[in-house]
Structure 1
């Protein structure tokens, strides 16, 4: 029997899942032309082996998937906290407000998972943002776009692995917020690109990525190593 956490029980919902054919190659192509492209491609090439025999173990079943989400929320929260400590040169009041709002959402997501998981939660992860120029608008917003698109694809790809309907509903509520973030950042970079063909496919669906592909990218921004060997795969 799957382990359950003390979270509110609500009607079963479903996070939108993209077609199985949306794979890592197409995902990486979304970043062509952004300041984060080279960084993310480098991160992937250096993390082809996720080293499942060591690192922070996410666990298995629904607990493992929630720890996986918690790891990603830790990374995003840490990024936006750093962004808002000293905004990039020339940041407008609107950009500062948007980025602060996103920071607060990501912190709330991080704390939700920390509290819900309790003693089953993984420890605090150590981020590595040395590849990001936090004084550059292009670098900050390009990385934010990469993180938000990655987050949407991660939740969509993990939805089918969750067995408890209440957890699936909560994941659906969070991924919808991540999609709002992605749309906002995309429009800051290029007005009107919030739902273009690089974000939504011909079927009107966002893309999905499996945990191993997501962690290959996220691992490029973490000093902590993640062990996802016990996560469900189907």
Structure 2
């Protein structure tokens, strides 16, 4: 890998503002992960396959492993924006324990978002515009139901994208992040209904988490976005 590229990725990762760093439990090491991802990105730049043209007004996630990283980055942007809004205006009756836990989740999602942005560099998609008009941030039921939908979707998205990833470094990264997302999903489910963290709506008969293709995930995320995402160049199943 180009030493200059590695140093650039590391520097970008370390320049995340202090206010947006994970300030409670650090699940990611920005510099190390950004450097490893930059190495794979450098290799992907040699791929000269032609790309389809995205519809006017949409955001093309890209192709190959870079496309999958942008796909993950888009989902992390959505989750980070949601939990940031939750903590900025806590729902009625929120307990100190709930606020602390949701703050932890916010910090994790912000960390994921910032990592992908730093690692992708100039290959990153633009910042997304979200649409949370259907969420009542003053209602515990509305907030937790939306959180459950996002966390379950995130787990299924990473699980579904795993087989599309070519580079082993990316697969390792996805495995580390999906395990954190699954912890979030379990917590949110238990906040809604104690003991539901691994019921049959999240785990199949073989004891495995569910998986969804990018097309399914993008369709499910669409109502929460003003930006229009297009995955026509993503790897196919």
TM score, norm. by length of structure 2: 0.78
Aligned 8 A contact 1:53 1:229 in 2? no
Counterpart of 1:188 (choices 187, 191, 215) is 191
Secondary structure at the aligned position of 1:75 is classed as helix
Structure with the greater alpha carbon radius of gyration: 2
Aligned length: 191
In 2: Cα distance, 1:225 partner to 1:201 partner? 31
Partner residue in 1 for 2:208: 205
Within 5 Å, give how 1:25-104 maps onto structure 2: 53-54=55-56, 55-104=58-107
The structure in which a higher percent of residues are helix is 2
Partner residue in 1 for 2:31: none
Runs of 5+ in structure 1 lacking a partner? Answer: 11-50
Aligned 8 A contact 2:35 2:119 in 1? no
User: What are the superposed Cα offsets for residues 169-215 of structure 1, whole Å, 9 maximum, x if unpaired?
Assistant: 00000000000000000000000000111111110100000001000
User: Displacement of 1:9 after TM fit?
Assistant: 4.3
In 1: Cα distance, 2:216 partner to 2:200 partner? 21
Within 5 Å, give how 1:1-234 maps onto structure 2: 7-9=34-36, 53-54=55-56, 55-234=58-237
In 1: Cα distance, 2:54 partner to 2:221 partner? 15
Aligned 8 A contact 1:8 1:166 in 2? no
TM score, norm. by length of structure 1: 0.79
Runs of 5+ in structure 2 lacking a partner? Answer: 10-33, 38-52
Secondary structure at the aligned position of 1:195 is classed as coil
Larger RCO, structures 1/2 (Cα 8 Å, 6+ apart) = 1
Give the aligned CA root-mean-square deviation in angstroms: 1.7
In 1: Cα distance, 2:182 partner to 2:54 partner? 30
